[in-house]
Amino acid sequence: MAIDFEPTPSTLDARDYYNQVAREQMRPISRKYDVEEHTLPVEWVDWYWETGRKRAVTTAKLGEPADGMIQVCVQVEELCWGDAALYLRMPTPALGGSAVSAAGTPEQRQRFLSAFRAEGGHPIWGAMAITEPGAGSDAAAIQATAELDESTGEWILNGNKIFCTAGEGASQHEGGFVVVWATVDRSAGRAGIKSFVVPAGTPGMTLVGCEKKLGIRASDTATLLLESCRVPQENLLGSAEVKKRDPKKTGDKGFKGAMATFDASRPIVAAMAVGVGRAALDFTLEELARQGVELRWDAGLHEQSAVERDLIEMQAELQAARLLTWRAARMISQGKTNNLEASMAKAKAGLAVTRITQKAVQLLGPPGYSTKLFVEKWMRDAKINDIYEGTQQINQLIVARRILDYPSSMLR
């Protein structure tokens, strides 16, 4: 499939704008909120809600940008070049909004996403609650339940959700919402998994606490407890119908519809990884140049130093991850199925950013390992890209299944 990756003028403009945001709004407070984990970055949240959000809202009103999802990925790369954790702390619908957009009705999209687009108001967050203590990479193992109360027309949710990105903001702040995955029929397996929008402050949804993490410390990664949590019937995303799984098929529409959220979100996570990797590589190149280390891009392999070979390999890894990400993103804009490509981009970017940031620390020696520089922080922030939105192993498994055309029962 031929894809033209030449950025349009609007994408170049967006790249420059968000790079400026990264430099002026994010980098100056990056270390502060890495150290002060779980502290709300008020100045960043307020600035984005009052100023930065207007650009996103204007773009939405004007329609899709010429480059569609590629422009979104470019924006994400620049913001995560600034600080990936602060990007995750932005007051946006985020993953929860992606789920509503992917599986919700027009009325649901209007009801749950309009607050973000409205003028004025207050910051809002969206989150997705999937992972449980006993259900990580295998989303079909979800134990949280949803039972319909016929007398009131409400769904009653019960369960324990962990590692919910933006879970604190989405569950505690007015206008926020959490998309909770739960089973309406355990005997139906994956076909019984449905997603429900739970608005912030709903009785029965309790914030248990936030995780202390290796990296992305400014991001609130929450544990949520659902105890007889009631939501209206119309808060179910998609159909409540449960179809028993056909063993001859690789899945069912209900579960596949919910999982389709990842086909849109994985290229964005890959773009995040590219941003962090580029931050580490850019700084390493600048620092080594300052020390007089010359990088000869056109030198033959036998003429290059070990450092030159490392840097060229880092650049190649980054570019490969970026191009795979843009390919998956372009397919979304064209309305094409990108399950294979999204997983390829996510797997490659997660591996690339881990290698690039670790190598950057190594090349810079003791200063790279110290908190005097951001390089050690980028290494810590990088690893999560190899874990969330499907681990490296899970995404490689998806790629293998799609290439070999194997169902999950044949390749685990």
Concatenating the DSSP letter of every residue in 388-412 gives TTS-HHHHHHHHHHHHHT--TTT--
Q: What is the pLDDT of residues 152-205, one digit of tens each?
A: 999 999 999 999 999 999 999 999 999 999 999 988 888 899 999 999 999 999
pLDDT of residue 189: 85
Q: How would DSSP label each residue in 40-93?
A: --HHHHHHIIIIIHHHHHHHHHH-S-TTTHHHHHHHHHHHHHHHHHHHHTSSS-
Mean predicted lDDT score pLDDT of the chain: 91
> How many other CB atoms sit within 10 Å of the CB of residue 60?
13
Domain 126-237, what architecture?
Answer: Beta Barrel (2.40)
pLDDT tens digits, 370-382? 999 999 999 999 9
Give the pLDDT confidence score for residue 406 in this predicted structure: 93
What CATH number labels 253-404?
A: 1.20.140.10
Q: What per-residue confidence (pLDDT) applies to 396?
A: 95
CATH 1.20.140.10-classified regions of the chain: 253-404
- Token reading at 297: 């891009």
Q: Range(s) for CATH 2.40.110.10 in the chain?
A: 126-237
Confidence of residue 58 (pLDDT cuts 50, 70, 90): low
What residue spans in the chain does CATH classification 1.10.540.10 cover? 9-117
Q: Which class is 9-117 in CATH?
A: mainly alpha
The rounded distance, in Å, linking the Cα atoms of 101 and 106 is: 9
Q: Which residues contact 332 (CB under 8 A, 6 or more apart)?
A: 68, 69, 263, 264, 267, 338
Summarised one tens digit per residue, pLDDT across range 99-140 is 998 889 999 999 999 888 888 789 999 999 999 999 888 877
pLDDT higher than threshold 80 for residue 283: yes
pLDDT of residue 357: 98
Which residues lie below 8 Å from residue 396, measured CB to CB, with a gap of 6+? 343, 347
Confidence band of 27 (pLDDT split at 50, 70, 90) = very high
- Indicate if the pLDDT at residue 409 is higher than 90: no
Active site (catalytic) residues: 389
